[in-house]
Amino acid sequence: MPNQPANKPSEEELVLRLRSRETAAMSQLYDMYSATLYGVIVQIVKVEGVAEDVMQESFVKIWNSFSMYDEKKGRLFTWMINICRNLAIDKVRSKEYRVTGATDTLGASNKISVTTESFNSEHLDVREMVGKLNPEQKQIIDLMYFEGYTQNQISETFNIPLGTVKTRARSAVKFLARIFKTRA
Amino acid sequence: MLNEHYIASGVLELYAVGGLTQSEREEVEQRAAASPEIKAALDEACAAMESYAQLHQMAPRPVLKTNVMARIQEESAAADGPVVTEQEQAPIPMYAGHEREGSPYKWMFAASVVLFLISGILSFYFYNKWQQTEDRLQLALASEQQYAQNLQTVNLQIQQQEQVLSILQDPDTRYVQLQGVEGHPEAAMQVFWHPQQQKVYVGALNLPAPPQGKQYQLWALDNGQPVDAGMIALDDTNFRLQQMKEIGTAQAFAVTLEPEGGSENPTLEQLIVMGEVQS
């Protein structure tokens, strides 16, 4: 299953190989995570051409700064997705993107999420359950995860008390964790 | 903050969702690194978001992988020199770029030092060469002077030879062979006399070495009267003629041994050679 996250031992091995600068390990890493990372990047930048650029920059950065990854501080995927999200959000906020990407923004977003989600039948039951996620909570985590808002920015922009933002985010993640844990 | 409170504060979930600022995230990472409990809770939250992210998964075009791997090969080749070890934290691209920028200056500095040393060595070398050349030039000039002097001497000798030759070739020159008298059978010399020009030369001397304080004197005998014809300067050559005093008329020539500086009248007891002018 190329798009499934690796099981523990092979991820450790992969990390070791990446630390010894094995480019072949990078190829494996790409196979394992590209679809998930790309999906998130597309959600953020909304335009596939831009997403491809961001994806490329992200993998170069992952390769070049791999020595910064510390498994004691967190999961490999989390480290990688943070790099991708940061670059994607930077791209969205850059002037260049606002000029070239502004026109496609509206239509692309919905279309993409529909097409991609319908492909993976395995996720259908999970999707149903995620659909039960409280819309207010979902809004908070989507704003953070896909739009790059911080808790403070959400509180200010949408006039929601900071405590409420925190609670909703926490509840949403707890809810998701329960869904995916029962599946696993 | 106690770990349980920290976990319950919701900051880990905000981390997983990406709702924290950079500095807040670093704090969470540090707490996670310090506490397995927090790390476990953080991983759980992150795993949940990872699964959430997977719901949006979307396979990129295959060509993207080709491009990505090409870029990574490039980066790998470019950074092949300095191998990054685990201890060496964070070779951030910015930093690596900076270092790469610095190295040409190092090389330029090293190169300039080397060039300076080379030019110093060359200067010394060429200075020595120049000094040697100067010395040799002095030698050459000295030997050239020597040659010039020699040439002058030779020219002088040739002039003298020519003079001798011209005297000998002149048909009016009288040749007088002086023979050793009794007691000096070995002695002999020649006199060349040109009566018109009144010039007298002596040559082909074969006289015994005079004792200390004595000198040979030439006399012309004119009608039995001895006339002083000058002192003979005895030297090496047989090919040179010595010009003596002018003599107008003479029937014979003779040489006597006289005190240095000569005498007014010949000391006849000391007569060495004598010869008559052939008419």
Residue B18, chain A, CB below 8 Å: the answer is: yes
Both B254 and B178 in a single domain? Answer: yes
Q: Which two tokens stand for residue B176?
A: 């007088």
First-to-final CA distance of chain A: 15
Both B165 and B99 in a single domain? Answer: yes
Please give the pLDDT value at position A97. 61
CA B279 to chain centre: 71
Report the 3 state secondary structure along A133-174: CCHHHHHHHHHHHHHCCCHHHHHHHCCCCHHHHHHHHHHHHH
Given a contact cutoff of 8 angstroms between Cβ atoms, the answer to whether B275 and B252 are in contact is yes
Please give the pLDDT value at position A96. 62
Instruction: Give residue B234's domain range.
Output: 174-276
Please give the pLDDT value at position B93. 42
Both B125 and B211 in a single domain? Answer: no
Angle CA A18–B43–A182, to nearest 5: 115
* pLDDT tens string A93-146: 886 666 654 444 444 444 444 444 444 555 567 777 788 888 888 999 999 998
> Structurally, how many domains does chain B consist of?
3
Both B16 and B101 in a single domain? Answer: no
pTM higher than 0.90: no
Distance separating alpha carbons of residues B217 and B262, to the nearest angstrom = 6
Residues of B in contact with A85 (CB under 8 A): 18
Residues of A in contact with B73 (CB under 8 A): 23
Both B215 and B267 in a single domain? Answer: yes
Please give the pLDDT value at position B119. 95
Both B144 and B180 in a single domain? Answer: no
Given a contact cutoff of 8 angstroms between Cβ atoms, the answer to whether B212 and B165 are in contact is no
Q: Which two tokens stand for residue B204?
A: 């082909």
Both B79 and B90 in a single domain? Answer: no
Select from B169, B198, B224 the last residue of a domain. Answer: B169
Question: For chain B, what percent of residues have pLDDT higher than 70?
Answer: 88
Given a contact cutoff of 8 angstroms between Cβ atoms, the answer to whether A54 and A84 are in contact is yes
Please give the pLDDT value at position A182. 65
Helix (H, G, I), strand (E, B) or coil at B88: coil
Contacts of B87 (CB under 8 A, 6+ apart): none
Distance separating alpha carbons of residues A178 and A171, to the nearest angstrom = 10
Both B188 and B268 in a single domain? Answer: yes
Both B74 and B92 in a single domain? Answer: no
Closest CA to A89 of A46, A56, A132, A135: A46
For the segment B162-170, the average pLDDT, to the nearest whole number, is 83
Neighbour count for residue B23 (Cβ, 10 Å): 7
Please give the pLDDT value at position B131. 94
For the segment B218-242, the average pLDDT, to the nearest whole number, is 80
Q: Identify the structural domains of chain A with CATH numbers, from first to last.
A: 1-119 (1.10.1740.10), 121-184 (1.10.10.10)
Select from B117, B143, B169 the last residue of a domain. Answer: B169
Provide the total of helices (H) and of strands (E) in chain A, helices listed first: 10, 0
Q: At B72, which amino acid appears?
A: I
Q: Which two tokens stand for residue A88?
A: 């994607």
> Which A residues, 115 through 174, put their C-beta within 8 Å of a C-beta on chain B?
116-117, 120, 123, 126-127, 130, 140-141, 144-145, 148-152, 154, 165-167, 169-170, 172-174
Lowest model confidence (mean pLDDT) among A115-124, B37-46, B140-149, B221-230:
A115-124
Residues of A in contact with B48 (CB under 8 A): 173-174, 176-177, 180
Neighbour count for residue B228 (Cβ, 10 Å): 18
pLDDT band at B236 (very low <50, low <70, confident <90, very high): low
Number of CB pairs, chain A paired with chain B, less than 8 A apart: 200
Question: HSE (CB half, 13 Å, CA atoms) of B91?
Answer: 22
For the segment B58-73, the average pLDDT, to the nearest whole number, is 89
Query: Cβ separation of B64 and A55 shorter than 8 Å?
Result: yes
Q: Between B13, B21, B57, which is nearest A173 by CB?
A: B13
Backbone Cα Rg of chain A: 17
Both B163 and B189 in a single domain? Answer: no
Please give the pLDDT value at position A58. 93
Residues of B in contact with A82 (CB under 8 A): 18, 25
* pLDDT tens string A27-67: 999 999 999 999 999 999 888 888 999 999 999 999 998 98
Both B80 and B92 in a single domain? Answer: no
Lowest model confidence (mean pLDDT) among A10-19, A34-43, B160-169:
B160-169
Distance separating alpha carbons of residues B18 and A141, to the nearest angstrom = 8
Q: At B213, which amino acid appears?
A: G
Both B97 and B77 in a single domain? Answer: no
Select from B34, B57, B85 the last residue of a domain. Answer: B85
Q: Between B10, B44, B68, which is nearest A56 by CB?
A: B68
Substitution target from B21, B31, B54, B86 for chain A, most A beta carbons within 10 A: B54
Q: Compute φ and ψ for B182, nearest 5 degrees.
A: -55, 135
Contacts of B276 (CB under 8 A, 6+ apart): B176, B251, B252
